[in-house]
Amino acid sequence: MTITPDTPRVYLDHNATAPLRPEARAAALAALEAPSNPSSVHAEGRRARATVEAARERVAALAGADPAGVVFTSGATEAAHLALSPDLRCGGRTGFERLLVSATEHAAVLRGHRFAPESVTVLPVGADGRLDLGALREALAAAGPAVVAVQAANNETGVLQPVAAVAGCVREWGGALVCDAVQAAGRIPCDALGADLLLLSGHKLGGLAGAGAVVVTGSRATLGSSVLSGGGQERGRRAGTENVAAIAAFGAAAAASAALPSPALRDGFEAALLASVPDAEIFGRAAPRLPNTSAFAVPGVSAERLLIALDLAGVAVSSGSACASGKVGRSHVLDAMKVKLGFTMGAIRVSFGWSSRESDVEILMSALSVSLDRMTRGRLRVAA
């Protein structure tokens, strides 16, 4: 197909943030209709409280948890800050001295939050991006009971971690498992992952930025001290007036995310890419992955230039390693997978989601064709 000025723009960056779902938009607008402080005792306050509690139930259902285990935060970064603390209680223990994190965690977790930097151990992954369980066992044997943070799915590659197996090891050693399920939620089942705590983010599901949650999934764990002190909101675990509109949108997006996506669009795209550019590298292809994410590089093609060319052609994707400033840097995820630097600097991430359709793949392939043809002066020919 040929891209013309009438071709609609295509958004394939759901892992950065998903477009607002209509259900979430309606829920947020309804919440904005009236003053919304859930702590107020008047009718408006009680209505806001009901909105927050309905959202709590929906988020709990997504996580397979009791609603009482859901603590709303401003997002997953704050949820990680609340969860990753030495005074977390789990399995009758507290006062954890070590935090073990997998090398491919999002920066929101990798920093270790309330653990001192010297008490954080980074665990290696294999070339497929999956955690090395042998290294985890060794680290647990050396550390004793520890808090372990392993994500369910990686934001750059979509690679899934063996969370159930990790949970088994962590329990054997009397530790606690915190699982960043930000990218997994709404894409794979997250109601029986086996972790003690889950981290979730509303805007990745099609809600608004400004709401996330830490979810205590069973009876083994209790959160440590709160990060924000003040009023007694969230049963004293997170002070501050709730962002009712964003929480309502989070709940609606969580409910709408119960229908999980198929990998058809991703598979169709990858088949078309490899048919056109056989030496393209698809990262993490040997591992189980999210159904919506494809991270790839074309030899000799810089991610920064390709990203801009695709954007000009009307397709929004992401560099596998874009930092907050939008600049393409070196990816710690691909480095941990020991991907060659040349490929790392070419990593592009395509992430589909609830608004994606088959025609998006055709438009993406056409945009790739035009962009790569220009960038490589016809050296690589991509069939659109």
Q: What residues are annotated to the active site?
A: 323
3-class DSSP assignment, residue 181: coil
Q: Which residue is nearest to ligand PLP (CB)?
A: 75
Q: Of the ranges 129-137, 164-172, 176-184, 253-261, which one interacts with ligand PLP (CB under 6 A)?
A: 176-184
Our finding on whether 77 is near ligand PLP (CB under 6 A) is yes
User: Smaller CB distance to ligand PLP: residue 102 or 366?
Assistant: 102
Number of CB atoms found within 10 A of residue 174's CB: 15
Our finding on whether 106 is near ligand PLP (CB under 6 A) is yes
User: Smaller CB distance to ligand PLP: residue 102 or 371?
Assistant: 102
At its nearest, how many Å lie between ligand PLP and the CB of residue 242? 16
Number of CB atoms found within 10 A of residue 32's CB: 12
User: Smaller CB distance to ligand PLP: residue 199 or 280?
Assistant: 199
Task: Name the residue among 106, 100, 81, 80 with its Cα closest to residue 332.
Answer: 106
Task: Name the residue among 47, 29, 30 with its Cα closest to residue 39.
Answer: 47
Task: Name the residue among 334, 331, 330, 304 with its Cα closest to residue 318.
Answer: 304
Our finding on whether 139 is near ligand PLP (CB under 6 A) is no
Number of CB atoms found within 10 A of residue 371's CB: 23
Task: Name the residue among 162, 209, 206, 152 with its Cα closest to residue 182.
Answer: 152
Q: Determine which residue in the list 100, 112, 170, 180 makes contact with ligand PLP, applying CB under 6 A.
A: 180
User: Smaller CB distance to ligand PLP: residue 14 or 47?
Assistant: 14
Q: Determine which residue in the list 102, 121, 201, 292 makes contact with ligand PLP, applying CB under 6 A.
A: 201
Q: Please count the residues of the chain.
A: 384
3-class DSSP assignment, residue 25: helix
Task: Give the tokens for residue 278.
Answer: 């056989």
From residue 207 to residue 246, what is the string marking binding to ligand PLP with x (rule CB under 6 A)? -----x----------------------------------
Asked if 304 and 320 touch (Cβ cutoff 8 Å), the reply is no
Cβ burial, residue 166 (10 Å; 0-12/13-18/19+): buried
Q: CA-to-CA distance for 227 and 217, rounded, in angstroms?
A: 20
User: Smaller CB distance to ligand PLP: residue 60 or 309?
Assistant: 60
Q: Determine which residue in the list 27, 160, 182, 380 makes contact with ligand PLP, applying CB under 6 A.
A: 182
Q: Determine which residue in the list 85, 155, 233, 356 makes contact with ligand PLP, applying CB under 6 A.
A: 155
At its nearest, how many Å lie between ligand PLP and the CB of residue 300? 29
Our finding on whether 151 is near ligand PLP (CB under 6 A) is yes
Positions in the binding site for ligand PLP (CB under 6 A): 75-77, 106, 108, 151, 155, 180, 182-183, 201, 212
